[in-house]
Amino acid sequence: MSDDKGLTVKKNEDFSQWYTQVVQKAELADIRYNVKGFVVFRPWAVLIMNKMFQLLEQELEKKGHQPALFPALIPESNFKKEAEHVEGFLPEVFWVTEAGGEGEKIDERLALRPTSETAMYQMFALWIRSWRDLPFKIYQRCQVWRYEGKATRPFIRSREFYWIETHNAFATLEEAEKQVQEDMETTDNVIHKEYAIPFLFFQRPEHDKFAGAVHTYAADTLMPDGKVLQLPSTHLLGQNFSKSFEIKFVDKNGESKYVWQTCYGPAVSRIIAAVISMHGDNKGLVLPPTIAPIQVIIIPIITSKENTEIVLAKCKEILESLEKAGVSPKVDADAERTPGWKFNYWELKGVPLRIEIGPRDIRSGQVVIVRRDNGAKQFVKENEVVNRVKEALEGIQKSLSEKAYNFLNDHLYDSQDYDEVKKILADKGGLVRINWCGLEECAEEMKNETNGGVIRGTLLGKNEEAKGNCIRCGNTSTQVVYISKQY
RNA sequence: GGGGUUGUCGGCUAGUUUGGUCUAGGCUUCGAGACUCGGGCUCUCGAGAUCCUGGGUUCAAAUCCCAGCAGCCCCA
């Protein structure tokens, strides 16, 4: 078996190797670009990400966010306006310090945005004048750069990534808090329902907040190796930035006030890592139909010169009827590849459904439909193809979603025994519910002693009462939190 | 941040331990042709590598030494 063909490792035996192979063999990314932590995103990944972006943007616009595009360069003086923010991000900033062939020094060095608060908010200060301008909700789709110290992996963590960031300003704290709720709903509607990625929403502990935020809420999903991957986070910024950037409005009573702010950042190039990992199998990618660039691959089975045209004509007919029904199909009519080759290729790429059409099928007025997720094969009468395809696509979406949900659910544990917690994290991975005292030092020690276990925070929507003692230090516990290893 | 390890045709690799037989071998890929194909079919011919980069040691370097770049793994 050549290495250029299918995957040579099983997902459940060596997830890390499996991931590397899928990324390469499904032609998602090429890691041969010669800058550390930067990779090339190949067409298949970009097509998937485009679908993902579209779904998110539709949802955001429905909820009143307007698109904008801000410059990628931020002057150092802007960047430094909010003290906590700078402190948090400074170690990760790439700077532009010179320009031109002679390397002429730039007067004030420019940050390549690691996130856009400090680019946007000076403009917010100019644009927002009255209560009539509020709420003010902007989003931008862009790439950002962070000088990551941790090991980089394609999609999971790199020094350049692609995301959407929303930035919002409100007249009151209550409205800002409501926006946080709305962001969670957006996350649920898109990432959970459309991408079929389950997650838990946590309020992060004080010491793990976004730099400059009052509170940080983040969605965590669980990767097949039992480690958590952080997906979107939404931040209640309070008035920290509005005070630094002088974003004020005049309220109905003529009084000048600082706005209340939130921001939200779904990193699509990272979420795709969850999609690859959660849904993929030993044959390669498995894409949820909602984000598959091609939903149905039609493969003609040609056995002689005489029937070539008949078979291809039938394929085209089916293609058109599917297109008319709003499905995205493609015919792979490549005469140089055998059907077997095509089966493997499109399975590797994760196309949800395959239709085979050969002379035998045409004689009996049927086609063969094969599901990518479970390999189920059915013979379908020609006049029922459209309906059956739609059913199958829905079935795949549902089944991927359930499978992923069950995996997460099966890896939630509950323990008040520190040794047991260590053992769970070491053996199976997953998230363990524990009592915790709330002190950062204690969390630090736990991270060391559990070999990487990180406090994710308190679970939202559950209101879990703290009682008993911190599992590590034995002091009175102030909160029920979840701990897990993370990417 | 610290430690380890690797870098040879587009991909996977043999060769490196013990410098010379390497004009760098194989599979795959790619190109031309045959084969008309219900799970990566088979055959013929051809192409593709200043052995990551720079320096050093030597009569002689893919092979030994140093530095840089990049990848992977482990630890903080």
Kindly indicate the confidence band of residue A461, based on its pLDDT and cuts at 50, 70 and 90: confident
Whether any strand B atom is under 7 angstroms from the Cβ of A425: the reply reads no
State the CATH number of the domain containing residue A390: 3.40.50.800
State the CATH number of the domain containing residue A463: 3.30.110.30
3-state secondary structure A19-49: HHHHHHHCCCEECCCCCCCCCEECHHHHHHH
pLDDT of the residue at A230: 93
**Do A24 and A9 touch, CB atoms closer than 8 A?**
no
* Pair (A195, A335) in one structural domain: no
* Pair (A298, A362) in one structural domain: yes
| Tokens representing residue A374 in the block | 């479970």
Pairing of strands A200-203, A215-222: antiparallel
CA distance A403 to A399: 6
Does residue A60 lie in a domain region? yes
Positions of strand B less than 7 angstroms from a protein CB = 1, 10-12, 27-29, 35-41, 69-76
Q: What tens digit of pLDDT does each residue of A169-188 get?
A: 999 999 999 999 999 999 99
Domain of A427, in residue numbers: 414-485
Whether any strand B atom is under 7 angstroms from the Cβ of A365: the reply reads no
Closest by alpha carbon to A339, among A313, A363, A303, A367? A303
Whether any strand B atom is under 7 angstroms from the Cβ of A348: the reply reads yes
Kindly indicate the confidence band of residue A3, based on its pLDDT and cuts at 50, 70 and 90: very low
CA distance A395 to A402: 11
Does residue A268 lie in a domain region? yes
- The DSSP H or E segment spanning A341 is helix A339-349
pLDDT of the residue at A292: 98
Does residue A101 lie in a domain region? yes
Strand B, CB < 7 A, residues 233-262 of A? none
Does residue A2 lie in a domain region? no
* Pair (A148, A221) in one structural domain: yes
* Pair (A168, A54) in one structural domain: yes
Whether any strand B atom is under 7 angstroms from the Cβ of A309: the reply reads no
Q: What tens digit of pLDDT does each residue of A127-141 get?
A: 999 999 999 999 999
* Pair (A159, A190) in one structural domain: yes
Q: What tens digit of pLDDT does each residue of A112-132 get?
A: 999 999 999 999 999 999 999
**Do A484 and A412 touch, CB atoms closer than 8 A?**
no
CA distance A201 to A459: 6
Whether any strand B atom is under 7 angstroms from the Cβ of A347: the reply reads yes
Average pLDDT, chain A: 93
Of A363, A394, A425, which closes a domain? Answer: A394
* Pair (A301, A273) in one structural domain: no
Whether any strand B atom is under 7 angstroms from the Cβ of A1: the reply reads no
Å separating the CA of residue A421 from the C1' of nucleotide B76? 21
- How many separate domains does chain A show? 3
Does residue A1 lie in a domain region? no
- pLDDT (mean) for A310-329: 96
* Pair (A167, A36) in one structural domain: yes
Whether any strand B atom is under 7 angstroms from the Cβ of A426: the reply reads no
* Pair (A263, A155) in one structural domain: yes
Whether any strand B atom is under 7 angstroms from the Cβ of A5: the reply reads yes
Does residue A439 lie in a domain region? yes
For chain A, give percent helix, strand, coil, nearest 5: 40, 30, 35
Whether any strand B atom is under 7 angstroms from the Cβ of A101: the reply reads no
Please give the ipTM for the structure prediction: 0.89
| Tokens representing residue A413 in the block | 């544990």
pLDDT of the residue at A393: 98
Does residue A7 lie in a domain region? no
* Pair (A463, A428) in one structural domain: yes
| Tokens representing residue A285 in the block | 């990618």
Percent pLDDT > 70 in chain A is: 99
Of A248, A279, A310, which closes a domain? Answer: A279
pLDDT of the residue at A5: 67
* Pair (A85, A132) in one structural domain: yes
Does residue A9 lie in a domain region? no
* Pair (A174, A45) in one structural domain: yes
Å separating the CA of residue A250 from the C1' of nucleotide B29? 67
pLDDT at A107 over 60: yes
Whether any strand B atom is under 7 angstroms from the Cβ of A137: the reply reads no
- The DSSP H or E segment spanning A395 is helix A385-410
- pLDDT (mean) for A348-356: 96
Å separating the CA of residue A33 from the C1' of nucleotide B50? 21
State the CATH number of the domain containing residue A209: 3.30.930.10
Å separating the CA of residue A99 from the C1' of nucleotide B28? 45
pLDDT of the residue at A1: 29
Å separating the CA of residue A29 from the C1' of nucleotide B44? 36
pLDDT of the residue at A2: 35
Whether any strand B atom is under 7 angstroms from the Cβ of A360: the reply reads yes
* Pair (A307, A241) in one structural domain: no
Percent pLDDT > 90 in chain A is: 83
Q: What tens digit of pLDDT does each residue of A179-226 get?
A: 999 999 999 999 999 999 999 999 999 999 999 999 999 999 999 999
pLDDT of the residue at A10: 86
